[in-house]
Amino acid sequence: MGSKLFLGFSALLATVSLGYLYADSLVFLFGYWIGGEDYSHGIFVPLISLFLIWQARYRIA
């Protein structure tokens, strides 16, 4: 149980750290996706990617 907790905390810390480091880029991309007619589908790319990773989570682990 302790190793799962450590792994979960490490994953959370890595996600928050990456979010902090790439915050400016993510805000720019989000604005570009919302404001641009040609790239309005870009908002769905991370969502679909997360869905596909979630479906394959047992094969990945």
What is the pLDDT confidence band of residue 1, given thresholds at 50, 70 and 90?
A: low
44 pLDDT band, cuts 50/70/90, is very high
34, pLDDT greater than 70: yes
Compute the radius of gyration of the chain from its Cα atoms: 15
pLDDT score, position 19: 93
Distance set, CA 38 to CA 33, 41, 42, 44 (Å) = 8, 8, 9, 13
Asked if pLDDT for residue 60 goes beyond 70, the answer is yes
